[in-house]
Structures are given as C-alpha cells and as structure tokens.
Structure 1
Amino acid sequence: MTHEQYDLVVLGAGPGGSRAALLAAQAGMTTALVEQDDLGGTCLNWGCIPTKMLLGATASKPLLDIQRKQKSATGEINFSLNALQQKKDRFIKGSRQALGKQLKQAGITVLTGTGSLAGPHELEVATAEGSQSVTFKKLIIATGSTPASFPGLQADGDCVLDSSHILSLTEAPESLIIVGGGAIGLEIGDLFSRFGTQITIVEALPHLAPSEDADIGEALQKALKREGWTIHTGKRVSSLVTESGNAKLTFEDGTEITAAKALMAAGRVPASTTLQLDKAGVQITSRGWIVTDNQLRAAGNIFAIGDVNGRTLLAHAAGHQARYVVSVISGKYEEDYLPPAMPSCVYGHMEVMRAGATAKELLESGLDVFVSRAALIANPIAQSYGTTQGFVKAVWIKKEESFELRGMAATGHGVSHLIGAATIMVEQRWQQKNIHDIIYAHPTLDEALEAALSAPLEAL
C-alpha cells in the first residue's frame, strides 16, 4: 500500500469537484482528485451534456413540423440516432481528455478508484493496482448523485432503463413510457419524440415540472398534448417491469400500460452509501444526503458540495459551491454561504426557465405575493418561429409601498435564452421603477421579459 499526503483531496471529478481541485491548485495547495469513473462526472458523461448534444443536433425537426402544419413548408428531415451517438461520444471523449490535460497542467494528482474514508484525515482509494492510502488536511466530498429507484421500479437495462442507459440507444424505440415529469423526463421525451417515438409520461404529483408553479406545468402539459404525448399526472405507479419483450407499467389502481421501452426518471439519490462517512464523523439525513453547516462543512476539516449535500441538484450550483468552499479553505472568505438567485432550465422544444423563487415558495413563507404575465403569442420573434405557446411570468412580493422582484419563470420555445437577464433582475431585486433601466432590443424574445414585468399585477 502506498501513502501520499495533500493539503486538499477532492472526492469526485464532476463539475463541482473538478472546479474545486483547479481552484485549490491555483491557490497553491497540493491537491489530489479522486474519481471512480470518468472525469467530468454525470453531467459530462451521462447527463446534461449528452442530452443537450442530442437535443441541439435535432432541434430543426420540431421547427420544420410547425412550418409544415402551417402549410408554409413541405418536406421532412430524418436523423440517424446511431450517427448522432457517435458524434456525441467523440465530443464527450474529447472533453474528458481536455479536462484531464487541464488537471495535469495544474499539477493535480488524479487517482482513478473508489474512495472511502478511513478517518478524519485519511482516505482509502481502491484502484485497479491495489489500495492506496491518502492523507489530507482538508477534504471536499463532491460525489454527486445517481438515478433513484424504488421497490418494483428498478431499471433492469432490458426494457426498463435509467437515464444513462437510454442515452446510449442507437435506435429509437417505437414507444416509450417515462416515469417522472421533471427535467430529465421532459428532455428525453422531447428528444425521442423527434425520432417518432410515441411518448407516455407519468408524474405522481399534480402537474408536470413539479418543482415549478402549477401554471408552468399546466401550460407545458397543454402544449405537449397537442404534440401527441399521452400524459398522466397525479397517478402513482406500483410496478414497472420488463415482460414479454416490453415494458409494463402498473398503476396503483391496477391499470396497466405497455411500451417498447420505459425510462425511470423519478428523481435522484446521493452517491454517499459507500463512503464510510461515519469514520470521519460526517452525518447524513435519512435519505443519505450529507448534512452541512452554513459554510458547507460536514465535519471539522471536511466539506460537501454539489448534489451530495442535497441543497440544489444542478451542475452550476456545484460549481458555485466549489468556489465558495475553496475560498473558505484558503482563508479568503469567512462569511456563511448565501447563494445568489439560482437559475434553472429544462431544455428542448418547449422549454422551462426559472430564476429565484416560485410563487408557491413565497406564499408558503407567509409573504404577500403578486404575479404579472405576458403571453408569448404577443412576441414577434415567437410569432416568426410559429412557437407562440407559453408565457413569461414575474413573481413579486409587497414590500412597504413598493413591489420587489423575487422570481421569474417562463415556458415556451427558446425561453432558456432569457435565463441570464432574468437571474440578474431577480438577484438585484428589481422594483417596478427599474423595469426600463435597460433597453430591450426589438424584435427579440427578451421583450417578453419587459412585457411580463410591465403587466398588471395579480394578487395570489
């Protein structure tokens, strides 16, 4: 067994872990990065990036379909999923290699193996060559999360797939059941619908995009039904299995549906079960999320960032937390972690974006909440594309004699491009007097932000 000592060890080489290691090396710390799979983590290899590569490559299909329905164009476009998978794989391989080169140039030791804690200052790394003991002054746990499964609802790799399985298919299934109406389910459903797959999506909560306000989910559902999706909301599933060469889903009421394939996209769970956290005094919740304090500290010299701490399961949240923790470790920052307005998006043809809080969250906090909306049908760019379904919404709270912006949300084609401006507006807590502090270019989708901010307020 070999022994190495470092100022900082980072466990997990996803977006948070990689950024933490690079920032620590820049700050002059001797740094090791431990990863059991591929550099880049879930986001680069099996999640965000491969999904967007495939969605981007096929984005012309729904736009052509709209023009054909409006009788302004004829013809069709066909894609090779196998060819697109090869293109995606080349890009991801190149990105991994580029990240590896960047880490090497920064002087970071990369250890490929499974890490588990042996004490408050020691990590055991099981590699292909044997076990290696690594000691550290500080540790950052950034092991992320994995697809959730439940009794009777496990992906089997045959007809019942998880998000990693389905992004490796080289032929589109004739039909697909998706369990889970969040970002993963919506994006993958959008992708395979472009290949002619008949989509059925099932969400146990009352509406699609359940982390958003109900009006967003309802508008999304209306649009997707028009595109031919079968949608079940507010219905719980008792089992999902491969049977006779198909995926069979059984609802709790006994109703059954079948499809060629099924995707389990009902959430994620922390990748924390094999870390031996108790040996370093790190506590977890009943669901396995690492408990952290106001500085993202899990124990005296151990921090947890990204999905594994359960705060916000987004790659950019992990990156932001990485920057903060390295600043604390290097002595450059002492204040508590107070994240700014958090942006999030669901990508595809019919998108969702949100910056800041939902109206529901603010109402539950006991605040006086108001909303203002603008329909995309009034926007000239939306009209030019024929993508007029959806709206932009501003969420305000009453503050003394004025109103303060606490959230912005939208659903519709291209609304993810509004996220940057919306995040700045919410973070700066604009008031109505600030609406015209900037000029909104005409004609652009950005004008829908102005329209939503300027619309009459509706009390909730």
Structure 2
Amino acid sequence: MADTNGTAFDIVVLGAGSGGYATALRAAQLGKNVALVEADKVGGTCLHQGCIPTKALLHAAELADNAREGAHYGVHTTLERVDMAGVNQYKDSVIGGLYKGLQGLVKSRGITVVEGYGRLVGPNAVEVNGQTLTGEHVVLATGSYARSLPGLEIGGRVITSDQALQLDWVPQSAIILGGGVIGSEFASVWKSFGADVTIIEALPHLVPNEDEALSKAFERAFRKRGIKFNLGVRFSGVTQDDNGVHVSLEDGKTFDADLLLVAVGRGPRTSGLGYEEQGLTLDRGFVITDENLRTGVGNVWAVGDIVPGLQLAHRGFAQGIYVAEQICGLNPAPIVESGIPRVTYSEPEVASVGVTEAKAKELYGDDGVETLEYNLAGNGKSKILGTSGFVKLVRQKDGPVVGVHMIGARVGELIGEGQLIVNWEAYPEDVASLVHAHPTQNEALGEAHLALAGKPLHAHN
C-alpha cells in the first residue's frame, strides 16, 4: 500500500466493486481527488465472482446446446464432451481482459488505489492497515456476499456460487437451493453441461420476483428442458458423505445428488466495518439512506448492494455516478428503482423493467390496468432462432406503459428499448409509430405496442 497516511482526499470510496469504482471514475472525471480502497481486486463481485464469470459459463452452455441440436438446422454436429479446464480458461481470460482494462482506466483517471481492508472510523475517515485516509466525502460501497441459511454450513459438497464458479468438473447431479436469478442460471448451465438438476424453492414460483405470467412460462420451459423443481416447501436439512449430499424438506421429501448449491440470495457486507459505531442506521445489515443515498452521518454516502433494493451491478453503477455527480455540485435525476432493468440469463432468458401486473393493480386498481401478451411465435427472427416465449406489456389504462416483461432466447438484449419505454413514460401509440428493423427480435416490442395501441399487424385483436 502506498504511504497515504495523513493524505486528505476529496472523496474516499470504500469498496471497488461496481458501485465503488463507478463513483471513483465519475468523480475523478469531474476533477476530484479520489482514493479507492479495496481488499481484493478492483471490479468486485460482478467482475470476479458474479456477472461476468456466470455469463461466460452460460455462453459455453449455449454452445453445448447448439452442438447437440445442430441437426435440427441441417448442420450435423455432435457434442464430444465438456472440458471444464477449457471452459474455465475461457472464463478466466474474459475476466482477465476486463480486469486489465479496468485497472488501466482507474490509473488513467489518477485515482489512488489503496489495497487493504478498510474500516469507517469517523464521518470523514477510513482506516486501512493502520493508516488513516480522510476525505471531505466518504462513499461506502462494500458490496455483498453469498448468503446461506441459519445452521446451513458451507463446505465440502455444500457450496455457494463462489465455489461453483471454480469447479473443474461437471456434477452428474446437483440440487440447487433457491430458484431466483442465481439458482436458475446455474441450473441452466449445469443442465446444458449434462447434469441432472433439481431446484428447491420455498416460494410458489421460480424467479418469484417476476411477473407471474413469466414465472409460469419459465417453469414450463425448464420442465421441457428436463430441469426438475420442487416449489412451495422449505428446506429442512442436509447431510453429506462420500457419495454426495442428502437433502430433506419440511414435508418429508428427500433428494440425493453430487452437490448442493446454496443460492438463497446475497447479504450486505457491512459487519465489522465500523458503520454502526459511527452512527449509521442498519436494518438486517443493510445501510439505510435517504432518496439521495446519504446516510445521515456527515458526508457519508452508500451505494450498491449494501443499500436495500435490487442487488444488480448496473444499479450500483448508476448509484455511483449519481452520488459522484451530487458531490460535484451537479443536479442528476434521481434513480427510480422500478425503472432499473432486470435479466435472468438462463435458457430461456427472462427480462423485465417496470412493475408487474399485480403491482400495477395495487397502484391503479383492477380496472385501471391493461395488459397484452405478444407471442414470439409471430416473430420471424425468433422463429429462425427456434425460440418460444412472449412479450407482455402492462399499461396504466389510457396511460403510459408501466411494465415490459419478456421471456425467450436472447430477450435480455431487448430490455434497452424496454427501459426507455418505461422510464420515458411512453404510450403504446408512441412506440407503435416507431419503425423496428425486420427481421429482428426487437420487432416483437414494436408489434406488441401496435397491438396494445389497437392496430395489430401480425397479432390478433
């Protein structure tokens, strides 16, 4: 660590994950002198143990499926084997390239990177390895960790996503505890790699935070792929031996497999960092802030996974930029949580932005909401790709579109337009007047809005 003892910075950022490094980059761009404190590697969970490595595995999984299914398209291919050493080499090369680029970017902005475990020791001070960094502002961005359940010990054949990303073998069978984004993505990968997969989810649906129509379609798609799942019953316990894991549920059912992946969400990394001692308000470990992400203690701010809400890298990016611009005297637009896009990168993908139909009815009443589903069977590019699914629109009656929900291969790439529609409060008629390229899957969004505007082209009224 460089000798920074006694050095005063404009901003000290604690944590160099998505929220932290975005804060640092934007603040430095605006002329601030920034210290970025990180115990591990710049890039945080998303780059090293989350978004990027899991999506690399998912791409390899897609190639495995393509190799199996080539004959359907007249291309006769066979899948010889999945070489996890090669898959991991590819994954690590992607991470390494992005990491090198990020390091260069941080260096080019003149940001001081301080390696070590930081702790908040005052409203303008962070202690790192016995040295104290002071800043006119302090931004907390310490991220999250893979959570377990009370009494459920991680170790051996009971793993979290952290260990799953380092596996050098493909399990013959796996049980996944949790049917949210992380659990569903690993289920998709392992099934494509040839494993027998069972998901256990205590709530009534997989991807339970999504619109119910998407959840049900997702379950049908997973069932068709041969991914098994048990819904609505809580986990009871697990034992393990040389043969594998033995999982029991509260209703008495038992399941056996090579591995148990615990994917029950992520917890805020705030313990032992001095937050409560300095007067910050914590709730279940999360840092409570106002709508501007101020903690209410001096000039201490918080961003990313430690703030209650969606735990998404792009939310952290946006919050980091938002805080940096406020500190620098700009007047950025507040971040609307419902306007943040959400994607599950499995096969099929699920993508959404805005509110679900159920939430819209809470807000506007049962008679104050209109919905429409456009089947991807009517979309030429989706037919070419061999995918099924739909686009579902939720609209305030006679008002703007307040929710866009999609399921199908590659629909995550369509959510960019979806977020513009929702965040700019577009009416179906506004989007219906736009020309969408043919043949693209993006065209399905245009067709859905044409239908909701009362003038369907390739869909029935």
User: Would you say same fold, with TM above 0.5?
Assistant: yes
Alignment match, 1:237 = 235
1:300-449 correspondence to structure 2 within 5 Å: 300-333=298-331, 337-338=335-336, 341-367=339-365, 368-388=368-388, 390-398=389-397, 402-449=398-445
Seen in structure 2, the aligned counterparts of structure 1 residues 200 and 420 have a Cα distance that, compared at 3 Å, is: same
Q: How far 1:98 sits from its partner (Å)?
A: 2.4
1:8-407 correspondence to structure 2 within 5 Å: 8-68=11-71, 70=72, 72-77=74-79, 78-126=81-129, 131-156=130-155, 158-285=156-283, 287-298=284-295, 299-333=297-331, 337-338=335-336, 341-367=339-365, 368-388=368-388, 390-398=389-397, 402-407=398-403
Seen in structure 2, the aligned counterparts of structure 1 residues 115 and 441 have a Cα distance that, compared at 3 Å, is: same
Q: How far 1:311 sits from its partner (Å)?
A: 2.3
Q: Which runs of 5+ in 2 are unaligned?
A: 455-461
User: 3-state DSSP class of the match of 2:126?
Assistant: strand
Q: How far 1:219 sits from its partner (Å)?
A: 0.6
Residues 146, 267 of structure 2: 8 Å contact kept: yes
Distance in 1 between residues matched to 2:244 and 2:386, nearest whole Å:
37
Q: How far 1:153 sits from its partner (Å)?
A: 2.6
Seen in structure 2, the aligned counterparts of structure 1 residues 435 and 196 have a Cα distance that, compared at 3 Å, is: same
Seen in structure 2, the aligned counterparts of structure 1 residues 334 and 174 have a Cα distance that, compared at 3 Å, is: closer
Residues 120, 281 of structure 1: 8 Å contact kept: no
CA-to-aligned-CA distance 1:77-119 (integer Å, 9 cap, x gap)? 2331111101221332232232222222222111111111112
Alignment match, 2:10 = 7
Partner amino acid for 2:286?
Answer: W
CA-to-aligned-CA distance 1:272-310 (integer Å, 9 cap, x gap)? 11211123221111x111000121001230000111112
Distance in 1 between residues matched to 2:209 and 2:453, nearest whole Å:
23
User: 3-state DSSP class of the match of 1:59?
Assistant: helix
Seen in structure 2, the aligned counterparts of structure 1 residues 396 and 265 have a Cα distance that, compared at 3 Å, is: same
Q: How far 1:144 sits from its partner (Å)?
A: 1.1
Distance in 1 between residues matched to 2:238 and 2:183, nearest whole Å:
15
Q: How far 1:163 sits from its partner (Å)?
A: 0.5
Q: What value does the CA root-mean-square deviation take over the aligned residues?
A: 2.0
CA-to-aligned-CA distance 1:106-133 (integer Å, 9 cap, x gap)? 221111111111121221113xxxx211
Seen in structure 2, the aligned counterparts of structure 1 residues 346 and 275 have a Cα distance that, compared at 3 Å, is: same
Q: Which runs of 5+ in 1 are unaligned?
A: none
Distance in 1 between residues matched to 2:436 and 2:222, nearest whole Å:
30
Partner amino acid for 2:359?
Answer: E
Q: How far 1:240 sits from its partner (Å)?
A: 3.1
Q: How far 1:338 sits from its partner (Å)?
A: 4.3
User: 3-state DSSP class of the match of 2:426?
Assistant: coil
Distance in 1 between residues matched to 2:436 and 2:66, nearest whole Å:
25
- Please identify, of 52-61 and 412-421, the stretch whose mean Cα deviation from structure 2 is larger: 52-61
Residues 50, 92 of structure 1: 8 Å contact kept: yes
Identity of aligned residues (%): 36
Residues 351, 407 of structure 2: 8 Å contact kept: yes
Residues 154, 240 of structure 1: 8 Å contact kept: no
Q: How far 1:67 sits from its partner (Å)?
A: 4.8
Distance in 1 between residues matched to 2:124 and 2:73, nearest whole Å:
68
CA-to-aligned-CA distance 1:213-244 (integer Å, 9 cap, x gap)? 11111111111111111111112101234334
Q: How far 1:322 sits from its partner (Å)?
A: 0.9
Residues 152, 240 of structure 1: 8 Å contact kept: no
Partner amino acid for 1:112?
Answer: E
Q: How far 1:348 sits from its partner (Å)?
A: 2.9
User: 3-state DSSP class of the match of 2:277?
Assistant: helix
Distance in 2 between residues matched to 1:94 and 1:433, nearest whole Å:
43
Partner amino acid for 1:12?
Answer: G
Q: How far 1:62 sits from its partner (Å)?
A: 2.3
User: 3-state DSSP class of the match of 2:16?
Assistant: coil
User: 3-state DSSP class of the match of 2:35?
Assistant: strand
Distance in 1 between residues matched to 2:68 and 2:374, nearest whole Å:
25
Partner amino acid for 2:447?
Answer: A
Distance in 1 between residues matched to 2:335 and 2:440, nearest whole Å:
36
Residues 372, 454 of structure 1: 8 Å contact kept: no
Partner amino acid for 1:297?
Answer: R
User: 3-state DSSP class of the match of 1:253?
Assistant: coil
Seen in structure 2, the aligned counterparts of structure 1 residues 335 and 373 have a Cα distance that, compared at 3 Å, is: closer
CA-to-aligned-CA distance 1:349-381 (integer Å, 9 cap, x gap)? 210000211112222224422210011122222
User: 3-state DSSP class of the match of 2:163?
Assistant: helix
- Please identify, of 206-215 and 273-282, the stretch whose mean Cα deviation from structure 2 is larger: 273-282
Distance in 2 between residues matched to 1:335 and 1:176, nearest whole Å:
44
The alignment covers a number of residue pairs equal to 447
- List, as ranges, runs of 4+ consecutive aligned residues in structure 1 with deviation greater than 6 Å: none
Q: How far 1:432 sits from its partner (Å)?
A: 2.8
Distance in 2 between residues matched to 1:346 and 1:260, nearest whole Å:
25
CA-to-aligned-CA distance 1:34-79 (integer Å, 9 cap, x gap)? 11111100000000000111212332332344454x5845431233
Q: How far 1:457 sits from its partner (Å)?
A: 8.9
Distance in 2 between residues matched to 1:278 and 1:456, nearest whole Å:
50
Distance in 2 between residues matched to 1:381 and 1:336, nearest whole Å:
37
Distance in 1 between residues matched to 2:142 and 2:383, nearest whole Å:
44
Distance in 2 between residues matched to 1:342 and 1:438, nearest whole Å:
23
